[in-house]
A = this chain, B = another copy of it.
Amino acid sequence: MPGDFAYKQALIVRLDLKMGRGKTAVQCAHAAVSASNEAHAAFPDWWKHWIQEGQAKIALKVPDLEAIMKLKREAATKGLPHYVVEDRGLTQVPPGTITCLGIGPAPSHLLDVLTGDLPLL
């Protein structure tokens, strides 16, 4: 389980948008690449350890925009690398819709404070 890794990344999806399987996967992939780039720039040691450990990731869900923005603010307050995915709105959701939040890679114990109670996607 991701909890056994020293470093991990959380991908947090809004459930209220009712995105399909492929759309959800693409939003998570976008969050993963962009949050990983943030970490690579700001916390290169975290990024390196995470890659070496096999890039542990966990997909989680929140009910709505309010929940995702609350987590985003908490990640910013804690100084954790993160990225909010704003969709182009070409399919399934209106342009500019915030679909997904990536936090980390970061040390698991720091991430768990924010995301440890969220249900799996």
Q: What residues make up the interface of A, taking CB atoms closer than 8 Å to B?
A: 1, 9, 11, 13, 21-26, 28-34, 36-37, 51, 54-55, 57-61, 88, 90-91, 120-121
Whether the Cβ atoms of B120 and A22 lie closer than 8 Å is: yes
> What is the CA–CA distance of A30 and B25 in the complex, to the nearest angstrom?
11
A90 and B29 in contact (CB under 8 A), knowing A22-B121, A121-B21? no
Residues in B with CB closer than 8 Å to A57 are 26, 29-30
Which of B1, B21, B31, B37 touches A29 (beta carbons < 8 Å)? B31
Whether the Cβ atoms of B54 and A25 lie closer than 8 Å is: no
Residues in B with CB closer than 8 Å to A120 are 22
Residues in B with CB closer than 8 Å to A54 are 88
Whether the Cβ atoms of A33 and B55 lie closer than 8 Å is: yes
